[in-house]
A and B are shown apart, each in its own frame.
Chain A
Amino acid sequence: MIVTINGAAHEVADGMTVAQAVRTLTTATTGVAVAVNDEVVTRGTWETTALSDRDRVEVLTAVQGG
């Protein structure tokens, strides 16, 4: 299946979890937040939340600004 992670399309194995998607970018688990299709996925459910084909995953962190 294909999922989009921070704007880039990836061919991934069926059943990929949010936690696995995050780990393609970082090993950090604090200071990071995830939305799938514009809905926040809380950190405690990353391991148990499976992605579906065409899901849009956004992995955000704090940067200098404002």
Chain B
Amino acid sequence: MDDLIIAGEKFSSRLIMGTGGAPSLEVLDQALVASGTELTTVAMRRLDPGARGSVLDVLRERGIKVLPNTAGCFTAGEAVLTARLAREALDTNWVKLEVIADERTLLPDPIETFDAAERLVADGFVVLPYIGDDPALARRLEQAGCAAVMPLGAPIGSGLGIRNPHNIELIVEAASVPVILDAGIGTASDAALAMELGCDAVLLATAVTRAQRPDLMASAMRQAVTAGRLARQAGRIPRRRYAEASSPMTP
């Protein structure tokens, strides 16, 4: 499979993992290894003196690049501060920008997201914004200098798959930065579909971390992303209403 390139950095895996929802660091570690991921998100939270072990140790041990997110932020101001704290704590200027509109849907707030994206780009960040499946917003964020766009397939943790494949295709057609399908993936066929639609990568967490066997699902996702990428590059046959014989009756 060809490399994924984000902001000039190469990744041989097109599966970006989240770390939320894993029952333990051991289970997470096994799933990350099985997924083959080279880029994985973490959230920033108040330091808990009683916490044992750190997700950072797992990522460092496995040589996985850390991608801090701004999960839990509701305003551009909160997201910008969180990104700056992540840069300070983790020595990376990469950030998955996530500004949520409300707790019930966890859908991204487009106005706050765009505002934060502009401020973070100006501050030298490599910004990967999580957005709705909105082609117009994706284009505007690319123009604002974002290094990728991350449209959702469906709400976070819903496992509903890709609810509007047509919009994902429109985003892919117009984008010259990587398109990363983020959120909503439920099972391997959803990840394969994202890649068949032309996405450059898939980001998922819950589908793996809350599967009955996380390491097995991680392996399935890895193979689905590869299969979907290869199918996209191979070029699928057109859909037809009626049969077309593959073996002609007459020579």
Contacts and interface: CB of A to CB of B under 8 A. Distances in A.
User: Are A and B subunits of one complex?
Assistant: yes
Contacts of A25: 47, 49
Contacts, number: 97
Interface residues of B, number: 37
The interface residues of chain B, by DSSP majority, are classed as mixed
A32 B89 contact: yes
Nearest to B19: A64
Contacts of A40: 81, 84-85, 88
Interface string B74-87: 00010001101111
B71 interface: yes
Contacts of A59: 46-47
Interface residues of A, number: 23
Nearest to A42: B88
Interface in B24-79: 25, 28, 41-47, 49, 51, 54-56, 66, 68-69, 71-72, 77
A60 B19 CA distance: 17
Contacts of B45: 60-61, 63, 65
Contacts of B18: 65-66
A23 to B, nearest CB: 11
